[in-house]
């Protein structure tokens, strides 16, 4: 009897103590680790035509090896047409070349590098317009000096007796290419000079106008029979 009671007690103890306790979990949970990769950066000092720096900023390096500078982004941001290596002591250096497809620099930089860039601004629209207007004014002045009278071909184009002054003709001529207009002005000056010389030579050869005939076909000094 005593053995049976002992066996039952042992069985009850085994039932009350499970192999894995779910009521008291492990007080030390699993530790999750997050790894952050630091992006290489470069400090950029931006100058404009040797003046500045106009701005200093840090930017991440790009490319497969993360060692290239985004030159095209810098050009677009500051309105530069070209970027040059720059030294505060010696000034502007060689141009910074970049890949035309992705805009990244061809030379590489290390993490924490300090880069000095001198930018050349894009040409303003006022400069080419000013050059064109100046060229038109010079060519117009040359044509006005050459053209004392309206050409015959323009007289035929008169509408309702409207007379076109030389400066309007000059504006029509210079409406085309600037180089073509200049060549035309030079040719007109040479042609006018040739005509003047021809007229002067004709006047010396026939001072009395004997060789010139009248509208009825008779010559100067001829008498009717």
Taking residues 34-63, report their average pLDDT: 89
Sequence-distant (6+) residues with CB within 8 A of 172 are none
HSE at residue 72, side-chain half, CA atoms within 13 A, is 9
> Rounded distance, CA 145 to CA 166, Å?
9
> What pLDDT sits at residue 158?
54
Compare 116 and 203 and report the one with higher pLDDT.
Answer: 116
Predicted structure pTM score: 0.46
Three-state secondary structure string covering 98-147: ECCCCCEECCCCCCCEEEEEEEEECCCCHHHHHHHHHHHHHHHHHHHHHC
Dump pLDDT digits (tens) for 91-109. Answer: 999 999 999 999 999 999 9
Dump pLDDT digits (tens) for 120-153. Answer: 998 777 777 777 888 777 777 677 666 655 556 5
> What pLDDT sits at residue 220?
46
């Amino acid at each position: 009897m005593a053995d049976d009671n002992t066996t039952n007690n042992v069985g009850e103890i085994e039932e009350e103590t499970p192999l894995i306790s779910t009521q008291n979990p492990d007080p030390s949970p699993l530790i999750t680790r997050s790894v952050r990769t630091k992006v290489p950066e470069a400090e950029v000092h931006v100058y404009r035509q040797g003046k500045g720096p106009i701005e200093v900023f840090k930017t991440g390096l790009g490319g497969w090896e993360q060692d290239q500078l985004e030159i095209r982004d810098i050009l677009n941001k500051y309105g530069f047409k070209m970027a040059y290596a720059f030294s505060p002591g010696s000034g502007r250096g060689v141009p910074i070349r970049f890949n035309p497809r992705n805009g990244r620099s061809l030379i590489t930089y290390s993490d924490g590098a300090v880069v000095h860039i001198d930018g050349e601004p894009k040409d303003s629209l006022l400069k080419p317009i000013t050059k064109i207007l100046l060229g038109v004014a010079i060519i117009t002045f040359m044509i006005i000096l050459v053209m004392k009278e309206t050409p015959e071909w323009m007289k035929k184009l008169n509408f309702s007796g409207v007379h076109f002054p030389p400066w309007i003709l000059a504006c029509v001529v210079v409406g085309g290419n600037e180089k073509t207009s200049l060549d035309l002005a030079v040719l007109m000056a040479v042609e006018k000079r040739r005509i003047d010389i021809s007229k002067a030579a004709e006047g010396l050869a026939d001072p009395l106008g004997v060789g010139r005939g009248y509208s009825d076909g008779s010559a100067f000094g001829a008498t009717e029979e």
